[in-house]
Structure 1
């Protein structure tokens, strides 16, 4: 397995690599710089749109090329191609902070939040009209969200627990329940951050401060580890025309002279077949 630099950049905190099949491009965000990026592997072009608050995740919208659904610090919003931003839900008064998100096989958006000083975080489903259904409460630092190939399992990371958890998922209703540990990473170098899944049921998880991405079998057994030349490995996601390229985002310590590639986006070509990402249907 060869780790290549897909995009050499100096992102402060790159996160949430998501393949946009309609656009043939990779969406990623730089949280601290309030930017959503679109990277084209075919020509190496990377473009960014800046917003007025941190952007934790950007997902494509079904049937609306170029439009994005954004998980922001203060809520969820839709960004049109003309730059207009429309808020779907706002939790700024609650005191939590938006973080990672995922879209299930039927286009439902799931969002996790980071707890505030007095407000617990949560994991919930946000509809197109802003209605929010909270499935898990009491989280501290919500991160990776992904589904098994058959859609019957939902994987979720609350980073400070140092675990990847799994929930039973009903694709017909969009209900998640029965949260339980899937993999315990208490003894790992680094803590679990973003994750994705492959068509064999494998779960790939980025280890923040560990400089690695690990793959676990559907039974939770470690069977592969990919070292990344940047210790702040934040998230991973499959992309490319056949979804066999694993993209990995990283963050950068400021100032950071020891890791010249920190903050770049990496790719591991042909490593596995990823589960096809869905676009937000709201």
Structure 2
């Protein structure tokens, strides 16, 4: 595997949720605590930043244009012209939106967590394009990575303090039969964001572990990638052929962060990702 490079040098407090938008050929990621949505076009090097009025856990492309965002007080959309509207407005004191992923059916699976990370203080919900919300997993602690197998028959999910990547069989639009898929050992960090590649392997960022790991569809660890930063948060494939692996990182809570902590990293030609789905596309 090629060496880790810097895609965007940045000092994000809590960089998260890298997502490739094939329509605009850009990488979208957020700084949760900085209330910023970052957009980066690798082909031209062009960067744009959108400030949000609340902490933003995730931002994903919409089929109708613009973005769907998982904010502190719920899920909202930005139209192409920048107009803002809520899909789900459900403020809960001490809670915020965290990682989110667009499912194969075009819905948004949006997670929440308590600022104090209290056990059971968050959840994971499915948000339909019309704003209908269905709770999937109640009483989770730090809702993080979600991703689907290439055929959409299984979904992977991380509640970070459990140290597990779980797997569920999809029954229609909802998951069933949740069970452990892989466990991160004590002292190796906590599983955070994930992505699934074209081979059905699951790539996981290890918060406080300075590492990415790839697990086979059988749950076996078959590859590790050491990183220069202590707190990688999530990863995704993008660029031509979806072959470049982008990695978001954080510097929050670190007394002596690495100079690249908070930057967007990339490993060129690391594998092959799966095409993403825009919110409301299916």
Instruction: Please tell me the TM-score bracket, short chain as reference.
Output: over 0.9
**For 1:17 and 1:134, how far apart are their aligned partners in 2?**
24
Contact 1:95/1:118 (CA < 8 Å) preserved in 2?
Answer: no
Aligned positions of 1:37-186 closer than 5 A: 37-64=38-65, 67-93=66-92, 96-115=95-114, 120-170=121-171, 173-186=172-185
The match for 2:277 is 278
Do 2:120 and 2:141's aligned partners in 1 also have CA atoms closer than 8 Å? no
SS of the residue 2:241 aligns to: coil
Deviations 1:16-50 (A, max 9, x none): 00000000000000111111111011122221110
The TM-score with structure 1 as length reference comes to 0.94
Q: Any gaps of 5 or more consecutive residues in structure 2?
A: none
Distance 1:101 1:258 in 2: 26
User: Which position in structure 2 is the counterpart of 1:205?
Assistant: 204
Q: CA RMSD of the aligned region, Å?
A: 1.8
Does the alignment pair 1:25 with 2:26? yes
Shift of 1:186: 3.1
Per-residue deviation, 1:93: 3.6
- 2:31 and 2:215 map into 1 onto residues whose CA distance is 27
**CA shift for structure 1 position 256:** 5.5
- CA distance in 1: counterparts of 2:219 and 2:254, whole angstroms: 37
Contact kept? 1:95, 1:119, Cα under 8 Å: no
User: What 5-or-longer segments of structure 1 have no aligned partner?
Assistant: none
2:247 is aligned to 248
Contact 2:55 2:96 in 1 (8 A): no
When the two structures are aligned, how many residues end up with a matched partner? 278
CA contact (8 A) 2:68 2:77 kept: yes
Please list every run of at least 4 consecutive aligned residues from structure 1 whose deviation after the TM superposition is greater than 3 angstroms: 93-96, 115-120, 253-258
Q: How far does the alpha carbon of each residue in 1:78-119 deviate from its partner, in whole angstroms, 9 at most, with x for none?
A: 012322210000221475321111111221111111147697
Which residue of structure 1 aligns with residue 194 of structure 2?
A: 195
Of the structure 1 ranges 111-120 and 48-57, higher mean CA displacement relative to structure 2 is found in: 111-120
The corresponding residue for 1:224 is: 223
